[in-house]
């Protein structure tokens, strides 16, 4: 079903247009009728003036002609429209033939008579104002005509006619026209709406119904469109569009399936890269920590030799066993950290303290032989440090930055320095927006040449000697940080060290 609003709007538009058109026609017809009636009134007065001039018998005879008087007094209205009929002779003397000559129009009528005497031709003018049909109109028609005499005009016949009867006739005509307009407009509106309904609304209804009931597998949802009308062409166009939509839908479904497969492959490749880099970092750590494990093993073996000796007291045996247990626990902790680092784990983000992660990384690398002789400075000054992150991945990033810094200062024994500092670039109060935490790992090593600075995050690019790295550490770290909505940047000058800065969005702005 078509909405009722469309039908109502069609009826309203048709009615408004029809009544507006008929209203304009009414104005034109009324104004034309008014013009015709005024011209007829002038012709009537002109004829009356001619008859009056001929019937006025002699200049000495001042009595009205009985024939003229009979004409004016006969009929149902007894010449109620005629205010005055008179004669002005050549000497300027006025002679009244009908009505009164002292109305407010007397002055303008006398001026009109004088102008007629001078110009020797019929003159007409209007006086006063009254309401016509659409606007104010003249109230009185003034006319004057010369009365021929020997050698020139013997006088002027004048008349003042009231125009109100003309306007009354027009208003009666207007009332008839308005009734006709109402009936005609109503009939034409209903006829026009019925025609519109047949020619436009029904085809639209059929198209809407076909569109609502159509399915993607349908080939011709809107009918063949065999007629030559606009709706036939519209049906043909809609069918063509439906075919294109069906083909595009199939291509889109194929593309979605391809993208899903590519996305799965990308996730698998990403997981493999992360796994490879974690194993590389674990290998670098295990290579340096091997003799870290060897020292407690040697201590344990020494205590075992002592326990085999005779003459030890029970208290000494218990002390040697406790020390051996402590060294074994130390070995267990080192191995557990390596296993946690190398073990594949699914990404699991949760609220995480950056400061605690920094502390665990520092604890892990503090006893590494690579850190021997390197001064470490820790400054956790950030007021807010809670982020939504994967603990293993963030741990991997910071550990990689530490080991890279250690490699950079390895050539400066006794002078190497690594600093890690946190801070908030913007205030992190409850009203702050886009608050971040910044973690900077700075070293005083050899630095990175300017021509290589833009390449440090490229996969497989490395400034280390062959065999000392995969070239994926910084690339994977950048990928991890950007996946967390943050950024990883580098600033370095040759001979003055390098600074790697991590920025991550905070989830807790309360401090």
Do 38 and 126 sit in the same domain of this protein? yes
Do 426 and 489 sit in the same domain of this protein? yes
List own/partner pairs for 227-234 with CB under 8 A and 24 or more apart.
Answer: 231/203, 231/204, 231/207, 234/207
Do 356 and 428 sit in the same domain of this protein? yes
At 142 the pLDDT is: 92
DSSP state letters, 401-431 = HHHHHHHHTTTSTTT-EEEEEEE-SS--STT
Mean local confidence (pLDDT), 396-418: 82
Q: Is the pLDDT of residue 92 over 70?
A: yes
Do 366 and 311 sit in the same domain of this protein? no
Do 38 and 85 sit in the same domain of this protein? yes
At 313 the pLDDT is: 82
Do 163 and 45 sit in the same domain of this protein? yes
Within a domain: 450:
yes
Within a domain: 201:
no
Cα 312 to Cα 104, 305, 508: the distances in Å are 154, 12, 59
Q: Is the pLDDT of residue 19 over 80?
A: yes
Domain at 484, CATH number = 3.30.565.10
pLDDT band at 464 (very low <50, low <70, confident <90, very high): low
Do 414 and 339 sit in the same domain of this protein? no
At 420 the pLDDT is: 93
Do 380 and 497 sit in the same domain of this protein? yes
Do 97 and 226 sit in the same domain of this protein? no
Within a domain: 203:
no
Do 444 and 501 sit in the same domain of this protein? yes
Q: How many folded domains does the chain comprise?
A: 3
In a 10 Å sphere around its CB, with 0-12 CB exposed, 13-18 middle and 19+ buried, how is residue 428 labelled? buried
Mean local confidence (pLDDT), 122-129: 91
Contact (CB, 8 A) for 133 and 171: yes
**Does residue 379 sit in helix, strand or coil?**
strand
Within a domain: 93:
yes
User: Is this model's pTM higher than 0.75 or not?
Assistant: no
Mean local confidence (pLDDT), 196-225: 62
At 94 the pLDDT is: 77
pLDDT digits (tens, 9 = 90+) for 288-308: 555 456 656 766 776 677 778
Domain at 104, CATH number = 3.30.450.20
Q: Is the pLDDT of residue 256 over 70?
A: yes
Do 334 and 402 sit in the same domain of this protein? no
Query: What's the whole-number average pLDDT of the chain?
Result: 77
> CA neighbours within 13 Å on the CB side: how many for 461?
12
Maximum average pLDDT range among 51-55, 95-99, 491-495: 491-495
Q: Mark which of 319, 344, 369 sits at the end of a domain.
A: 344
Q: Mark which of 344, 366, 399 sits at the end of a domain.
A: 344
- CB atoms under 10 Å from CB of 367, counted, come to 13
Residue 285, domain extent: 216-344
Cα 171 to Cα 33, 41, 184, 336, 500: the distances in Å are 11, 17, 19, 110, 96
In the chain, % of residues over pLDDT 90: 9
At 510 the pLDDT is: 44
Maximum average pLDDT range among 2-11, 94-103, 330-339, 463-472: 94-103
* Least confident interval from 19-23, 263-267, 299-303: 299-303
Q: Is the pLDDT of residue 417 over 80?
A: yes
């Amino acid at each position: 079903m078509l909405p009722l609003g469309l039908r109502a709007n069609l009826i309203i538009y048709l009615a408004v247009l029809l009544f507006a058109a008929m209203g304009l026609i009414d104005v034109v017809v009324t104004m034309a009728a008014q013009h015709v009636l005024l011209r007829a009134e002038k012709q009537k007065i002109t004829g009356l003036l001619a008859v009056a001039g001929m019937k006025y018998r002699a200049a000495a005879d001042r009595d009205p002609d009985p024939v003229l008087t009979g004409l004016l007094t006969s009929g149902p209205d007894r010449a109620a429209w005629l205010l005055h009929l008179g004669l002005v002779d050549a000497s300027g003397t006025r002679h009244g033939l009908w009505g009164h000559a002292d109305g407010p129009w007397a002055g303008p009528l006398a001026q009109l008579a004088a102008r007629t005497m001078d110009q020797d031709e019929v003159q007409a003018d209007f006086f006063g104002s009254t309401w016509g049909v659409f606007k104010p109109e003249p109230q009185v028609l003034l006319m004057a005509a010369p009365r021929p005499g020997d050698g020139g005009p013997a006088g002027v016949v004048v008349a003042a006619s009231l125009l109100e009867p003309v306007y009354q006739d027009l208003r009666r005509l207007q009332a008839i026209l308005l009734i006709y307009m109402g009936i005609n407009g109503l009939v034409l509106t209903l006829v026009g709406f019925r025609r519109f309904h047949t020619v436009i609304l029904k085809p639209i209804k059929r198209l809407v119904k076909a569109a609502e009931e159509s399915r993607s597998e349908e080939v011709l949802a809107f009918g063949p469109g065999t007629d030559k009308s606009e709706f036939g062409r519209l049906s043909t166009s809609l069918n063509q569009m439906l075919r294109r939509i069906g083909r595009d839908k199939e291509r889109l479904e194929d593309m979605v399936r391809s993208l899903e497969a590519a996305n799965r492959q990308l996730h698998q490749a990403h997981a493999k890269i992360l796994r490879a880099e974690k194993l590389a970092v674990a290998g670098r750590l295990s290579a340096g920590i091997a003799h870290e494990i060897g020292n407690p093993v040697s201590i344990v073996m020494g205590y075992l030799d002592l326990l085999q000796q005779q003459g030890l007291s029970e208290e000494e045996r218990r002390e040697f066993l406790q020390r051996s247990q402590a060294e074994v626990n130390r070995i267990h902790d080192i191995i557990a950290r390596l296993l946690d680092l190398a073990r594949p784990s699914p990404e699991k983000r949760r609220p995480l303290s950056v400061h605690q992660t920094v502390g665990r990384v520092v604890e892990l690398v503090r006893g590494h032989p690579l850190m021997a002789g390197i001064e470490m400075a820790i400054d956790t000054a950030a007021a807010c440090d809670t982020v939504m992150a994967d603990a293993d991945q963030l741990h991997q990033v910071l550990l990689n930055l530490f080991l890279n810094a250690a490699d950079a200062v390895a050539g400066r024994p006794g002078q190497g320095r690594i600093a890690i500092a946190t801070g908030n670039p913007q205030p992190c109060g409850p009203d702050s927006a886009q608050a971040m935490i910044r973690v900077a790992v700075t070293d005083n090593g050899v630095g990175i040449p300017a021509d290589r600075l833009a390449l440090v995050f490229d996969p497989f690019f490395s400034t280390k000697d062959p065999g000392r790295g995969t070239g994926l550490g910084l690339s994977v770290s950048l990928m991890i940080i950007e996946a967390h909505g943050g950024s990883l940047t580098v600033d370095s000058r040759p001979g003055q060290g390098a600074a790697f800065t991590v920025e991550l969005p905070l989830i807790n702005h309360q401090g």
